[in-house]
Amino acid sequence: MPDASGKAQIAIVGTGGIAGAHLQGYRKLLDAGYDSFEIVALCDKFEDRRAAFAKTVSDMFGWTPPQYASVEEMVEKATLDGADICTPHAFHHTTVIPCLEAGLPVMVEKPCGITIKASDLIIEAAKRAGKFVAVAEQVRRGIKARTMRWALCEKKMIGDIRFFLVEGYSNWDFCSDAYKNAYAWQWRLLKLLTGGGMIFDAGAHFADMIRHMFGDVDEVSCALRTFQRPILDSPELGPQPMDVEDTWMSCLRFASGLVGQWSWSFSAPGEGVAAQLFYGSEGSARDRGGWMHPFQQGGDIVFADGTTKPYEDIEKEYKAQLDPAEAARLFPHGVEEDVALECWDFVDSILSQRAPEIDAETTKRAKAICLAMYESDMAGAPVRVQDVYSGKISAYQDPINEYWKIG
């Protein structure tokens, strides 16, 4: 429990891109009047990265936390109440588990482990330690996603949901230096470090949100392609060709009977496409975002008779019917931005000794949808998500588990 100050003492581990977004989230909480935490330690295996991040913390918060080169050193030397973990996928379990074993509750970035077995290691370590593992899955927490979920799934504004299509085709040059020289892409484009391409990365948000809205996916059928093969000189693996998908075509069958198409390519020269449409018996809803974060930017409705309802009107209706106590629970201190809300949930879970909104077990179910896509491509056949979740099917993941000695 926190010291006499009553403020949760938080460490940030993995001081890269998303850790910066978390920092902005913590700052938003302070600005909204919630000051029940302090960022008191930073950990990154690269000295220049942790030093640069310490300077950012100093600029934003007015103090410079001590910095550590490993979680093992950090938990030995620092007095902490929780660790906010933002490392690459291959290092989720290796950074989360030592923190749990040191008695710290953890928030880890999605997808919470590089494979199903890595998730299981994390979940088992949390049980042994009696500490929670929250997952930094922000999309469903923001005002816009909560509004659209209410509109489609509770208010049923477009009737019974029949099917969806989520497609994005664009042309990214992974062979350019901007990708080859950036640490964040060196690990992201290599299967052993990332676990999968964008299906598993940004797609983790997609899987969590569609499951949150429409329930479990029963079966997926997917074909992957990798058209670009730059050599990536990652510090962890040395020179290797990109070996994750840059293109996929998939069909998702939900237990409810809903069916959806989720197809994407980053290697599509020529005309671009960005369409995220959900069809119901009485109309359609178009996601305003265009990325793999359903309704993070809101959505607009077209009814069967051609009339429309823009997002702004839907949000007004959502807020008007929200019970004040529920509004205070979902948007504490008036905060509506999703990353700030996940940071609040983490701190408040520590201080209130309650379970976080999204935990490792919940996101294991979502990531099983993503991993089933890879297993389906490898099998050349549809795959049941439950068989991936349970570990019965793991051919795609086996080399990753073997390389990192997971399980």
Ligand X SMILES: NC(=O)c1ccc[n+]([C@@H]2O[C@H](COP(=O)([O-])OP(=O)(O)OC[C@H]3O[C@@H](n4cnc5c(N)ncnc54)[C@H](O)[C@@H]3O)[C@@H](O)[C@H]2O)c1
List contacts with ligand X (CB under 6 A).
13-19, 43-46, 49, 86-89, 91, 94-95, 109-110, 136, 138, 183-184, 201
In the bound complex, what is the minimum distance in angstroms from residue 119's beta carbon to ligand X?
A: 13
The smaller minimum CB distance to ligand X, of residues 139 and 157, is found at 139
Catalogue the E-assigned strands of 170-270: 217-225, 231-234, 238-241, 247-254, 259-265
Nearer to ligand X, 221 or 234 (CB): 234
CB of 158 to ligand X, least distance (A): 27
- Radius of gyration from C-alpha coordinates of the chain: 21
Smallest gap from residue 175 Cβ to ligand X (A): 19
Q: Around 244, how many Cα atoms within 13 Å sit in the side-chain half-sphere?
A: 24
| E strands, 281-395, in order | 283-287, 299-303, 308-309, 383-384
Least distance (Å) between residue 235 CB and ligand X: 8
Q: Which is nearer to ligand X, 138 or 349 (CB)?
A: 138
Burial of 378 (0-12, 13-18, 19+ CB in 10 A): middle
CB 236, CB 254: distance < 8 Å: no
Backbone phi, then psi, for 66, in 5-degree steps?
-65, 155
One-letter amino acid identity for 4?
A
What pairs with residue 133 in β-bridges?
Answer: 106
Which residues are 217's β-sheet partners?
Answer: 254
Reduced to 3 states (helix: H, G, I; strand: E, B; else coil), residue 284 is strand
Q: How many CB atoms lie within 10 A of CB 233?
A: 12
Q: How far is the CB of 253 from ligand X (least distance, A)?
A: 26
Taking the least distance from each CB to ligand X, the nearer of 46 and 63 is 46
In the complex, residue closest to ligand X by CB? 16
Nearest CB to ligand X, comparing residues 110 and 384: 110
- Residue with smaller CB distance to ligand X, 24 or 261: 24
Which residue's CB is nearer to ligand X, number 89 or number 140?
A: 89
Q: CB-wise, 19 or 372, nearer to ligand X? A: 19
CB of 143 to ligand X, least distance (A): 16
Task: Provide the H-helix boundaries in 2-151.
Answer: 17-31, 47-61, 71-77, 92-101, 116-129, 143-149
Q: How far is the CB of 259 from ligand X (least distance, A)?
A: 27
CB nearer ligand X, residue 9 or residue 67: 67
Could you tell me the smallest distance in angstroms from the CB atom of residue 165 to ligand X?
23
CB of 303 to ligand X, least distance (A): 32
Residue 407: Cβ-neighbour burial (10 angstroms; 0-12, 13-18, 19+): middle
CA gap 281, 258 in Å, rounded:
12
b/e burial code for range 92-104 (CB count within 10 A of at least 16 → b): bbbbbbbbbebeb
Query: For residue 390, how many other CB atoms are within 10 A of its CB?
Result: 12
